[in-house]
Amino acid sequence: MKTKNVVKGIAFSLVIGMVASCTVIRPGQIGMKQTIGKLKPGVIASGSKLYNPFVTKIVKINVRTVELYQQLELPTKEGLNVKTEIILLYHVKPESARDIYINYGSNYQKVIVESNFIATARQVSARYDAKQLYAIDRKLVEKAISDELSEHIAKIGFVIDAVLLKEIILPNAMTQAIQSKASAEQAALQMEFVIQKAVKEAERLTIEAEGIKKAQLIINSSLSESLLKYNYIEMMRGLSNSPNAKIILTDGKIPVMLGDK
């Protein structure tokens, strides 16, 4: 009985040892073997890997895109501090994972990425007014931070995928001032539109009046004495053919109708 228990104990220990000496490199990770403090050359591809846990350590480096979220107070050009929520998306170059681990350890994000990110964001924001950060040049600020951060850490082996200014919170007084100015600008644009519309309407009426004037001149120029006499004769003929008798007084030029008889 005691022998069976010993065998079971040994078997259990072997199972535990096998589990402890096996690791899995997941997709999006790079594995490296470190034996007695020395990092072996080459990397371990994704999959399971057996190793001796007493003398060997498997180091895993994430090479997928990582989101680094920060709540920062950034300085502005006029000397204010604005609260911001800012996100950095970055990843480690697979071919640089070994050098990054050697130089900065497994805490490379805090040691090199986060510190450079915060410093760069503060340097860039100090070039802009609060209004520019809030409403106008946000995309320009994001690009400036991304470009300058890349200059600092791209050569180390990091790729900056994007910088996103998610939220910018200004002092209440400044927010109200910006909104009031925006409303005034909109009102000015509306008034400009109304004025332009009135000018266009005045131009239309002027053109219409000119057209009417020209038409009258053409009509007047075409009314010769012969045409007027012809129209007079035609009118008299129509009156004579009327079923009702009329009394018409005329001097041969303009007829005057007095009424029915």
Beta bridge partners, 87, equal: 69, 164
Residue 105, token pair as written in the block: 């350890």
Q: Provide the pLDDT for residue 115.
A: 94
Q: Provide the pLDDT for residue 11.
A: 43
Average pLDDT, the chain: 76
Complete domains list, the chain, with CATH: 2-61 (no CATH), 66-170 (3.30.479.30), 223-260 (no CATH)
Cα 102 from Cα 37, distance rounded (Å): 11
- DSSP assignment string, 2-71: HHHHHHHHHHHHHHHHHHHTEEEE-TTEEEEEEETTEEPSS-BPSEEEE--TTTEEEEEEE-S-EEEEEE
116 in Cβ contact with 65 (< 8 Å): no
**Edge-to-edge strands, sheet with 29-35:** 38-39, 29-35, 56-62
Among 47-56, 58-67, 146-155, the range with the most confident prediction by mean pLDDT is 146-155
62 in Cβ contact with 86 (< 8 Å): no
Residue 236, token pair as written in the block: 């008299």
3-state secondary structure of 79: coil
Q: What is the pLDDT of residues 68-103, one digit of tens each?
A: 999 998 888 888 888 889 999 999 998 898 889 889
Q: Provide the pLDDT for residue 259.
A: 52
Cα 164 from Cα 70, distance rounded (Å): 11
Q: What is the mean pLDDT of residues 37-50?
A: 72
Q: Provide the pLDDT for residue 68.
A: 95
Among 45-49, 98-102, 137-141, the range with the most confident prediction by mean pLDDT is 98-102
Q: Provide the pLDDT for residue 162.
A: 95
Q: Provide the pLDDT for residue 119.
A: 95
Q: Provide the pLDDT for residue 252.
A: 56
Name 74's Cβ contacts closer than 8 Å, sequence gap at least 6: 81, 82, 84, 121, 122, 125, 126, 133
Of residues 111 and 41, more confidently modeled: 111
170 in Cβ contact with 82 (< 8 Å): yes
Q: What is the mean pLDDT of residues 134-147?
A: 84
DSSP letter for 106, please: T
Among 135, 112, 137, 113, CA closest to 124: 137
Task: Output the CA torsion sign for 212, 218, 221, 223.
Answer: negative
Q: What is the pLDDT of residues 193-225, one digit of tens each?
A: 778 888 888 888 888 888 787 877 776 666 666
Give the CA dihedral 188, 192, 193, 196, nearest 10 degrees: 170
Q: What is the mean pLDDT of residues 124-133?
A: 84
Confidence of residue 16 (pLDDT cuts 50, 70, 90): very low
125 backbone dihedrals φ, ψ, rounded to 5°: -60, -30
Among 61-65, 66-70, 136-140, the range with the most confident prediction by mean pLDDT is 66-70
Q: Provide the pLDDT for residue 241.
A: 66
Q: What is the mean pLDDT of residues 150-158?
A: 94
DSSP letter for 128, please: S
DSSP letter for 156, please: G
Confidence of residue 17 (pLDDT cuts 50, 70, 90): very low
Cα 142 from Cα 161, distance rounded (Å): 11
Q: What is the mean pLDDT of residues 223-233?
A: 64
Q: Provide the pLDDT for residue 6.
A: 43
Cα 240 from Cα 233, distance rounded (Å): 11
